With several copies, the nearest count.
Chain A
Amino acid sequence: MTETKKKINIKLFKGSVKPNWCPGCGDYGLLSATTKVLAQMGYEPHNTLIISGIGCSSSFPHWTTAYGIHMLHGRALPAAMGAKMVNPSLNVVVVGGDGDGYGIGAGHFIHAARRNLDVTYLVMNNQIYGLTLGQSSPSSQIGHITLTTPEGVDERPINPIALALGAGASFVARGFTGDTKHLAGLVQQAFEHTGFSFIDVLSPCVTFNKLNTYDWFRERVYKLDDENHDSTDIGQAFVRGQEWGERIPLGIYYQSKMFALHQTDPTSRDRIPINEPLGFKKQNISYESVFNDFK
């Protein structure tokens, strides 16, 4: 990013391994939007770290050229916290599915949000468990007949927007992989945001979710930007967040400015831990001061 005139290679983040996603899977949309934005914004693979959990969507890092952690199911965010806090100079992107993030990982989602950890969290929400072949997910709609719900889902789904707002996230948005241009815009703004930026990405599973299809969404989505939404007003954001079914808002629901965790942490606020010397002596800590505490 130092040389502003550097020629941008838009494919810089495109990996050599072909995704094994189904043709038409929504996740392709986020992959291409994200790799493009990363390149456009001048990031480089060696200082970008993409972290995921487990699921179809979580294979995402493998299809890029950046550093990555394909973590355990549901644990992408804590891994991201470890990474970001010891090396705040990395651009850390966290990706995964609805099962991964809203199901098994819900607790970490809440805590990463409230801590305002400076990562971007992109959830490919297909309202289904894809990789395990079509069970209902915590975001599956009431009544959805899936492999495990012969009479239809009877648990109310997670509302990711409301949940993120309730958890105190400082950037809360929703995108749709059927509109990659708009999505790319959101991803860029999320990267630009300092702190926890979260996008619920509606990403149809063409194989197992025959209910929430591209068409289903196309009939319902609209842009918050088109309706004078004030994204600094959390109350308004929460009310918009209740919308689903008839109309589904896309865009930034809420954004606010506050310190990110690495900016307040007593250690990483003024140094990059990974670059610091090791041990007492190299850090110029006198033995006397260490031992004195124990006398």
Chain B
Amino acid sequence: MTIRVIWITLTYLSDDTKSSSLIRYAIRIGGVAGDGLQSTGSLLQKYFNRLGYYVVGHPGTQSTIRGGHVWQHVEISSQEIFSFDRPLNFLIALSEETLEVHLRDMKENSYVLINADKVKIEKFHQELIQRKIKVLSFPLSKLSREIDVKRAVLANTIAIGALITLLGIPMEGYIDTLRKRFGGREKLLDMNLKALDLGKTYLRENYLDAFVSVTPATLEGMKAIVISGNEMIALGATASGLKFLAQYPITPASSILTYLSNKASRYGIVVRQAEDELAAITMCIGAAYTGVRVMTASSGPGISLMSEAFGYAGMTETPIVIVDSMRAGPSTGIPTKMEQADLYSIMFMSHGEAPRAILAPRSIKEAFDVTVKAFNIADKYQLPVVILSDFALSEQTASIDEFELDVEINRGKIWTKATDEHPKYKRYELTEDGISPRAFPGTKDAEYILVGAEHDEDSHSLSGNRAGLPESWDLREKMFKKRFRKMELLRDEMDGPELYGVKNADYTVLCWGSTQGAVREAIDGLNQENSTSWNMLSFVDLFPFPFEKFLPFIKNIKTSIMFEVNYTGQLENLIHHHTDWKPTHSIRPLHGETPTPSSITLEITELLNQEENQ
């Protein structure tokens, strides 16, 4: 077997070879589904957050409930980090497959803690020695059975006990984290505390000199939260005044439903699990018509099912917010892998031509603001707004400082009674800006029928007795122009790309959405290691595309690389459509794994090497 590498360990990405104290430390636990890795990963992140480290986490899941191979990555740093990275300082291998898959990611001088009861280390010996990786062999199954025969997951806690001991950082925080987690369940807590201790003792007894120094945490403990992209979107929606969520479960959008179901009553949101996605979006349309802010979330297959109703929302100018958490497609694809391939399908979703907006948050942090913006755009411009997340952004976690939850809410034009400006209510009044007042059931003198057929200002249909009559020719033109007038107005409100790094760099990397953090770190590395200079242009607001805000950047771009995770180069095409501009190079990884600073650096390096060799 030739080992295919899709990332590299670049020394500039961490400083382990330079100083004796590590600024950044990457931990991964690998095992089989059912090993409780996500839960352990979450505890670990909360613990480090409690200590005041910057934290990021990434889940490596499969569409498998038990068995298979899954992993959880947790990375900490005393300086702000923007992405998880593949190279590892510490690997917990609960299964042999973990070594087969992740050994390639290990750094020099890193540690691997194996469950000796399950992992045969012999065949990796050679490589481990060669690559200076130290093995901590723990009989985890046996040790956990000693505490409780039926709780194999205690193995994880034992390993964590060893890890914390190895790092020489205080154990108390972890105990607090466990205490919070298990609430009143004393017995469970107790077993876990024993496990922690066992891990510590076993390490000290067997690996006396094993020790790693990480630089101390720099943040005030407990001031930040550890949160996933989906949860951040859910918070943003609640802050925006969400009152109705209808959703059908699907990876990786499900956790929005899960989180909000559990907060429904408290946050004042009607949360209903629909019978399918067709129902989910049409429930939203019904609720939005009635006057509340609504949201649904899904991923590819479910989004595709919403297509017809999506067009209805555009045509009827009904504000709805839709989260598309993109996964590797097409069709069922690989549900637990990220991809950025739904941009065009959403730009052109549903037959005919109807308005819409698309925003792609570039980080978990930004997901909150983008969600708030999505709701305001939906109401102001009366159209469906899609938040393009993806598996990585939705399911990754990061530590974020607490932030303001009170946001500006703009519900747009609403008619409640006759005014000078709008004496008589007309749902689709032909206004200059294309935006007409909405009115909600319960309002007197505004009764009207929402209709997906072409219509006049009073929302009377032009598809029946008035189809083909001369009056309809004009009306249709006017209504079409009105709907698209809104789009031009909205385009002005779209944010242009953000420049990171020096203005006149030799190389510019362009990206959008969730890859921003990894590209940014790759840029930093390249700037450090190379004689060349690098910068990044990252996009968040995608449609209607704010091309005028991109134009000024063009003159400063020398060699450019468009980085996006799809086959056809979707943002590249969108930019080209508006500006005729094309990047010098494109990198479009297809392997399915979330891009990381080192994978991106490898791809860029290979690309430039190829160029040179030509």
Q: List A residues at the B interface (Cβ < 8 Å).
A: 17, 20-23, 45-47, 49, 51, 54, 56, 59, 61-62, 65-75, 78-87, 89-90, 103-104, 106-108, 110-111, 129-133, 135-136, 138, 147-151, 207, 265-268, 271, 273-274, 276-281, 283, 285, 287, 290-291, 294-295
When the two chains form the complex, which single residue of B249, B272, B407 contacts A132, counting CB atoms closer than 8 Å? B249
Q: B309 interface residue, CB < 8 Å from A?
A: yes
**B379 nearest CB across to chain A (Å):** 11
A82-B285, A132-B249, A294-B231 known; A23 vs B66 contact (CB < 8 Å):
yes
A79-B282, A279-B241 known; A86 vs B287 contact (CB < 8 Å):
yes
A108-B279, A273-B268 known; A280 vs B239 contact (CB < 8 Å):
yes
A148 touching B273, Cβ below 8 Å: yes
**B319 nearest CB across to chain A (Å):** 13
Q: B205 interface residue, CB < 8 Å from A?
A: no
A279 touching B240, Cβ below 8 Å: yes
**B165 nearest CB across to chain A (Å):** 23
A83-B289, A150-B261, A267-B268 known; A75 vs B309 contact (CB < 8 Å):
yes
CB within 8 Å of A: which B516-547 residues: none
Q: B250 interface residue, CB < 8 Å from A?
A: yes
Contacts of A111 in B (CB 8 A): 275, 279
Q: B284 interface residue, CB < 8 Å from A?
A: yes
Contacts of B292 in A (CB 8 A): 86, 273-274
Contacts of A129 in B (CB 8 A): 249
A273 touching B270, Cβ below 8 Å: yes
B65 touching A290, Cβ below 8 Å: no
Please give me the residue from chain A that is nearest to B34 by CB atom.
A22
Please give me the residue from chain B that is nearest to A70 by CB atom.
B451
B449 touching A273, Cβ below 8 Å: no
A67 touching B312, Cβ below 8 Å: no
B34 touching A79, Cβ below 8 Å: no
B447 touching A20, Cβ below 8 Å: no
Q: How far is the CA of A295 from the CA of B179 in the complex (A)?
A: 12
**Can you list 24 A-B contacts with CB-CB less than 8 angstroms, sorted by A residue number?**
A22-B66, A45-B447, A46-B446, A51-B286, A54-B332, A62-B449, A70-B449, A72-B282, A72-B452, A73-B301, A75-B282, A78-B280, A78-B283, A79-B283, A79-B289, A81-B246, A81-B279, A83-B290, A85-B244, A86-B270, A104-B276, A207-B65, A283-B268, A294-B225
**B135 nearest CB across to chain A (Å):** 29
The B interface is mostly helix, strand or loop, or mixed, namely mixed
A104 touching B275, Cβ below 8 Å: yes
Q: How far is the CA of A271 from the CA of B265 in the complex (A)?
A: 10
**B180 nearest CB across to chain A (Å):** 8
Contacts of A207 in B (CB 8 A): 34, 65-66
**B79 nearest CB across to chain A (Å):** 21
Q: Which of B91-99, B251-259, B499-507, B603-611 contacts A (4 or more CB under 8 A)?
A: B251-259
Contacts of A68 in B (CB 8 A): 447-450
Q: B164 interface residue, CB < 8 Å from A?
A: no
Contacts of B293 in A (CB 8 A): 278
Contacts of B68 in A (CB 8 A): 20
B267 touching A285, Cβ below 8 Å: yes
B63 touching A135, Cβ below 8 Å: no
CB within 8 Å of A: which B97-126 residues: none
Contacts of B402 in A (CB 8 A): 287, 291
When the two chains form the complex, which single residue of B278, B301, B409, B442 contacts A278, counting CB atoms closer than 8 Å? B409
B270 touching A108, Cβ below 8 Å: no
A295 touching B235, Cβ below 8 Å: no
**A34 nearest CB across to chain B (Å):** 15
A103-B275, A276-B243 known; A79 vs B461 contact (CB < 8 Å):
no
Q: B383 interface residue, CB < 8 Å from A?
A: no
When the two chains form the complex, which single residue of A61, A75, A294 contacts B449, counting CB atoms closer than 8 Å? A61
A90 touching B441, Cβ below 8 Å: yes
A82 touching B288, Cβ below 8 Å: yes
Q: List B residues at the A interface (Cβ < 8 Å).
A: 34, 46, 49-50, 63-68, 180, 222, 225-227, 231, 235, 238-241, 243-244, 246, 248-251, 254, 257-258, 261-262, 264-280, 282-294, 301, 308-309, 312, 331-332, 402, 405-407, 409, 440-453, 460-461, 464-465
Q: How far is the CA of A53 from the CA of B444 in the complex (A)?
A: 25
A46-B443, A132-B249, A294-B226 known; A82 vs B231 contact (CB < 8 Å):
no
Q: How far is the CA of A72 from the CA of B238 in the complex (A)?
A: 28
Q: How far is the CA of A45 from the CA of B449 in the complex (A)?
A: 12
20 new A-B pairs (CB below 8 Å) besides A68-B447, A131-B65?
A20-B464, A61-B449, A62-B461, A65-B447, A67-B441, A70-B452, A72-B312, A73-B301, A75-B278, A78-B279, A82-B283, A82-B285, A86-B243, A103-B275, A148-B249, A267-B268, A267-B270, A274-B290, A279-B240, A281-B406
A81 touching B272, Cβ below 8 Å: yes
Contacts of B442 in A (CB 8 A): 46-47, 87, 89-90, 274
Q: How far is the CA of A70 from the CA of B453 in the complex (A)?
A: 9
A70 touching B243, Cβ below 8 Å: no
When the two chains form the complex, which single residue of B240, B284, B331, B440 contacts A82, counting CB atoms closer than 8 Å? B284
Q: How far is the CA of A147 from the CA of B246 in the complex (A)?
A: 15
When the two chains form the complex, which single residue of B65, B241, B332 contacts A21, counting CB atoms closer than 8 Å? B65
Please give me the residue from chain A that is nearest to B246 by CB atom.
A82
B308 touching A72, Cβ below 8 Å: yes
A83 touching B286, Cβ below 8 Å: yes
When the two chains form the complex, which single residue of B248, B291, B444 contacts A104, counting CB atoms closer than 8 Å? B248
Please give me the residue from chain A that is nearest to B273 by CB atom.
A148
Contacts of B66 in A (CB 8 A): 20-23, 207
Q: How far is the CA of A179 from the CA of B268 in the complex (A)?
A: 45
**A241 nearest CB across to chain B (Å):** 21
Q: How far is the CA of A67 from the CA of B447 in the complex (A)?
A: 5
A267 touching B271, Cβ below 8 Å: yes
A67-B448, A274-B290, A283-B267 known; A133 vs B240 contact (CB < 8 Å):
no
Please give me the residue from chain B that is nearest to A269 by CB atom.
B265
**A71 nearest CB across to chain B (Å):** 7
